[in-house]
């Protein structure tokens, strides 16, 4: 949520305890993107690299322990258990990524939310809208992406749970008109976890569901 930064600022001014998980990540490792008004800021989609989320979990543990020191040991046990699950998840994603031929590790999506994922797990990402969903893709953006798909014979492209599917469906139709039938490989969770009870629903469920969808479509 783009407005959370200002909300945290206001809470801090009111002396409310806050934990900014992104502060735990080395700024040198954060990826840049340009806002529509030309102001450079950082790509917020840090969670798609599990290594980043391990740092976020540590920030939460340390923040809770500082705020409620009487329960520090309880927090530590849960933190340690979660770290083990995150390590297992990271290994799972890497194994699934390795199962895809290198030349096929190209992720075409509605908006450019997966750069941290790409850097961590060896993919190239082509997002139609850029990092922010507030901007809409223009005709030139669509044409360039379609030509890339046709030229590189991309096997599948992906819709996202939090972005209207019509843009990617239009790309699929345009590629078809140029003689290349690209499949819709499935729906990825980009700015949501999915509903409770779905294959997503939690952070670990979400990232595993994403890599399963990607691997199945691109193998």
Q: In tens digits, what is the pLDDT along the chain, a chain of 219 residues?
A: 667 888 988 998 999 988 989 889 999 999 987 665 667 788 889 999 999 999 999 999 999 999 999 999 999 999 999 999 999 999 999 999 999 999 999 999 987 899 999 999 999 999 886 544 444 556 787 888 999 999 999 999 999 987 888 889 999 999 999 999 999 999 999 888 877 666 678 999 999 999 999 999 999
What are the domain boundaries of the chain? 1-219
Question: Which pair of structure tokens corresponds to residue 123?
Answer: 């993919």
Q: Which CATH number fits domain 1-219: 3.40.50.1980, 3.30.980.20, 3.10.20.30, 3.40.50.1100?
A: 3.40.50.1980
Q: How many other C-beta atoms are found inside a 10 Å radius of the C-beta of residue 52?
A: 21
Determine if the pTM surpasses 0.85.
yes
Closest Cα to residue 30, out of 42, 14, 22, 47?
42
């Amino acid at each position: 949520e783009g407005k959370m930064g200002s909300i945290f600022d206001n809470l801090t001014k009111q002396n409310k305890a806050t934990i900014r998980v992104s502060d735990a990540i080395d700024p040198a490792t954060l990826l840049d993107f340009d806002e529509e008004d030309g102001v450079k800021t950082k790509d917020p989609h840090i969670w798609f690299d599990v290594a980043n989320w391990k740092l976020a979990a540590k920030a939460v543990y340390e923040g809770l322990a500082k705020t409620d020191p009487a329960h520090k040991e309880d927090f530590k046990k849960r933190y340690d258990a979660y770290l083990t699950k995150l390590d297992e998840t990271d290994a799972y994603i890497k194994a699934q990524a390795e199962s895809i031929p290198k030349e096929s590790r190209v992720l075409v999506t509605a908006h450019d939310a997966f750069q941290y994922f790409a850097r961590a797990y060896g993919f190239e990402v082509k997002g139609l809208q850029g990092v922010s969903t507030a901007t809409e893709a223009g005709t030139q953006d669509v044409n360039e992406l379609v030509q890339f798909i046709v030229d590189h014979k991309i096997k599948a492209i992906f819709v996202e749970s939090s972005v209207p599917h019509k843009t990617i469906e239009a790309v699929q139709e345009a590629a078809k008109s140029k003689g290349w039938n690209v499949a819709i490989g499935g729906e990825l969770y980009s700015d949501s976890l999915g509903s409770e009870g779905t294959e997503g629903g939690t952070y670990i469920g979400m990232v595993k569901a994403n890599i399963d969808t990607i691997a199945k479509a691109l193998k």
